[in-house]
Structure 1
Amino acid sequence: MPTSQTLISAHNISLSHHGKSVLDNVSFELKQGEFITLIGPNGAGKSSLIKVLLGLIKADSGDIKRSSSIRLGYTPQTFSPNPFVPISVIGFLNLNQKVESCFMHETALLTGIESLLNSPLKSLSGGELQR
């Protein structure tokens, strides 16, 4: 069986916040075709680990390697668009000019939001916003 490409690896990632250890020497590898689920109680560091992996926050120590072919996405736990900004879903998605239109529409189809693309952001439910 051929070996799968490593998409992202983390080695000995540690992070503290206000003097409290949030992540302590976390290590793992994610290979192509694999899924990893982060499970733990509130405050266990799941979101912090994701933010470190994405480069949104810097770990106190450790090493992260990402494949040049990896495409990462992140949906924060809460997203609250400004209700006074009149923008549609498609308008919001088009703010990132690096995303190709065909990829955006394919993703909308896969996530079941294709029918919402012309809807105002302020009209969406919490679940629709997450998708």
Structure 2
Amino acid sequence: MNLITVKNLSIAYGGNTVLRDVSLALEPGEIVTIVGPNGSGKSSLLRAIIGAIKPVSGEIFLKPGLKIGYVPQRLHVDPTLPITVERFMRLTDRVSQADCQSALEAAAVPDLLKRQMSQLSGGQFQRVMLARALINQPDVLLLDEATQGLDQPGSASFYQQIEAVRRDTGCAVLMISHELHVVMSASDRVICLNGHVCCEGVPAVVASAPEYRALFGTGTGGALALYRHDHNHDHDLDHSQSHKVED
């Protein structure tokens, strides 16, 4: 049974249609990545899946009892607010310190529990967001460009951890990414979105599709080789700060 099924989904803001007749399905244990240019409706699709916005038409079916972990594109935490990682992770859920620690270990940042949120680097902040999404042992992880603002080694390290989470927990992953070199190496399937589904399939098929090349060109092969080189080496977490990028 599919974990998530989207059928003929259309989304509009005012009179502006951002998605029309989009259909997709997410199966247990797979990593599916959504790519597309700015303004293509990628984030709107994820927000509709979690119930944050109401579609104009279409249907979204979630497997009964489905648990979703969500990592947003950006989250601002007031740097003057004295809040530890542990307290941040327990703001909305009644979870134990042991659960927080286990989630941080799953995100590969086990030593951050007592650290102030304001002291985290960009890479550490994103790992804490990942840990928070993992704390209730979700069936599905939704990632909305979770590596915005990280450099290439930091991004590669983050996505390597996503693959480890999938391997260790069996959860499925539906993620948005603008990093094509990562997408083509880390995904089981790719969906190319530009207001509608332009093409979809395994990475090699999508990379050769005319619709994909019209949007992104033909340079993915070299970037993919570079990612695979980086992917086989350990990297320190990036210390850059995230910046705002529109959907």
Structure 2 unmatched ranges of 5 or more: 128-247
Partner residue in 2 for 1:13:
9
Assess if the C-alpha contact under 8 Å between 2:86 and 2:97 holds in 1: no
Q: Which runs of structure 2 are paired with 1:1-131 in the superposition (5 Å)?
A: 5-99=1-95, 101-131=97-127
- CA-based RMSD: 1.6
Residue identity opposite 1:44 in structure 2: S
Structure 1 residue 6: deviation in Å?
Answer: 1.3
1:62 aligned partner, one-letter code? G
Distance between the aligned counterparts of 1:58 and 1:100, measured in 2? Answer: 34
CA contact (8 A) 2:2 2:27 kept: yes
Amino acid at match of 2:58: G
User: In the superposition, relative to structure 1, how do residues 31 and 100 fare at CA in structure 2: closer, same or farther (>3 Å)?
Assistant: farther
Detail structure 1 runs of 4+ shifted over 4 Å in the superposition: 98-103
* Alignment CA distance shift 1:58-1:124 (3 Å): same
Q: How many Å apart are 1:84 and its aligned residue?
A: 2.0
Distance in 1 between residues matched to 2:101 and 2:3, nearest whole Å: 25
Deviation at 1:104, TM superposition (A): 3.2
Provide structure 1 residue ranges, at least 5 long, that are not aligned to the other structure.
Answer: none
- Aligned residue for 2:83, secondary structure, equals coil
C-alpha separation in 1, matches of 2:84 and 2:70: 20
TM-score by length of 2: 0.48
**CA-CA distance at 1:112 after TM superposition:** 1.4
User: What is the CA–CA distance in structure 1 between the aligned matches of 2:10 and 2:112, rounded to whole Å?
Assistant: 40
Q: Which whole-Å CA distance do the structure 2 matches of 1:23 and 1:110 have between them?
A: 34
Deviation string 1:100-123 (CA, Å, 9 cap, x unpaired) is: 555433221121122111110111
Q: Tell me which protein shows more helix as a share of its residues.
A: 2
Q: Please tell me the residue identity of whatever aligns with 1:86.
A: P
Q: Is the 8 A contact 1:79 1:129 kept in 2?
A: no
Q: Which residue of 1 aligns with 2:158?
A: none
Q: Look up the SS of the partner of 2:65 in the other structure.
A: coil
Identify the structure with bigger relative contact order (alpha carbons < 8 Å, sequence gap 6+): 2
> % of aligned pairs identical?
37
